[in-house]
Amino acid sequence: MSKLFSPYELKGKTIKNRLVMAPMCMYSAENGLANDWHLTHYLTRAVGGVGTIVVEATGVLPEGRITEQDLGLWDDSQIAPLKRIVEEVRKYDCLIGIQLNHAGRKSQTNGTIFAPSPLAFETMQLPAELTKADIRRVVESFRQAAIRADCAGFDFIQIHGAHGYLINQFLSPLANKRTDEYGGCLPNRTRFLHEIIEAIGSVWPKEKILSLRVSAEEYHPEGNHVDDLCEIINSVKDSGIDWVDVSSGGVVNAKINAYPGYQLPFAQTIKEKTNLPVTGGGLICTVGFAEKALNDLNLDFIYMGRELLRNPYIVLNQANELGFDPEWPFQYKRAKNTP
């Protein structure tokens, strides 16, 4: 019996399989609005049979976008096109969530950019240090975006706490040099994330899922390592984190020895030490590899990113290898390779 193709129950939802489409910026939005590209892109992967889709990093504020072409949820006008995507994707029994993000010092938008400390990322623009009033504004923008995500009908929100964006900047001693209650020791550096979780939790329906993406390793001796992330997650999980998505890197430029599955041991450690459902991934390109990783490391979900860009129908095409016979959309049935 394939683990990849066995359903998973999370907060009363049945997720049909363990393959997650990783969030991937499409850099195709204008004014933060989703359009036909986004609909086609997400719908194709739902038709292709993935169990869960995480919609790309979506800015909670204009200056919180990674680029001017990112999706946004800072304005009510941005709800309707996302709602359409949710409604269409849902027709294929696919769970769909949205990743809420503030890019902080890694924002390439026009105008002032913000960070915990006035330290530029590499050769990028120097950010302004967030005042406490600025912090309150950002936290409030996550709350407002969560209300809009609920209006759009998303099954879950994923808080983007990874890849060196604003939340990760607060968490990391490499980017956070503050001397107030948001900097210094690990509980202080976690305060911003904690406030965001609480703000989202105050409006996000209790029965819906809240996920957190983390960078489990910063690949720098003075940066966070997986045990720090376990401590961080354990300190916030009671505020309502239901699912952890494990990635790595991005706070500083570092040389990473990347190979298929290189981040999976981090996911395994986080699962063992936090007892939360985890998604692991990175350079995974076949359902066979995903199945083995789920079994060998006792993970709950596997994400695929780039392979799903190359091969949106991977579930339909490769499920047979694991003895699973997925339902094909009736329009494509004549193309099905029967086992």
Ligand X SMILES: Cc1cc2nc3c(=O)[nH]c(=O)nc-3n(C[C@H](O)[C@H](O)[C@H](O)COP(=O)(O)O)c2cc1C
Rounded to an integer, what distance in angstroms lies between the CA atom of residue 290 and that of residue 2? 10
- Quickly tell me which residue has 């990874």 as its tokens: 162
The residue within the footprint of ligand X, chosen from 51, 104, 127, 281 (CB under 6 A), is 281
Residue 306 is a binding residue for ligand X (CB under 6 A): yes
Helix axes 36-47, 79-90, angle to 10 degrees: 20
User: Is 200:285 a contact under the CB 8 Å cutoff?
Assistant: no
What's at 167, amino acid-wise?
I
The residue range among 119-127, 158-166, 223-231, 234-242 that interacts with ligand X, by the rule CB under 6 A, is 158-166
Q: Residue 284, interface with ligand X (CB under 6 A)?
A: yes
Nearest CB to ligand X, comparing residues 161 and 178: 161
Cα separation, 23 vs 57, whole angstroms:
7
Based on the shown chain and the rule CB under 6 A, indicate whether residue 290 belongs to the binding site for ligand X: no
Write out the E strands in 102-163.
114-115, 128-129, 156-161
For ligand X, which stretch binds (CB under 6 A), given 115-123, 167-175, 230-238, 279-287? Answer: 279-287
**Spatial distance between the Cα atoms of 19 and 48, rounded to a whole number of angstroms:** 11
56 near ligand X (CB under 6 A) = yes
Residue with smaller CB distance to ligand X, 174 or 246:
246
Tell me the site size for ligand X, rule CB under 6 A. 20
- 3-state helix, strand, coil split of the chain in percent (to 5) is 40, 15, 45
What mask, x for binding ligand X by CB under 6 A, covers residues 212 to 251? -x---------------------------------x----
Applying CB under 6 A, the residues found at the interface with ligand X are 22-25, 56-57, 99, 160, 162-163, 213, 247, 281-284, 304-307
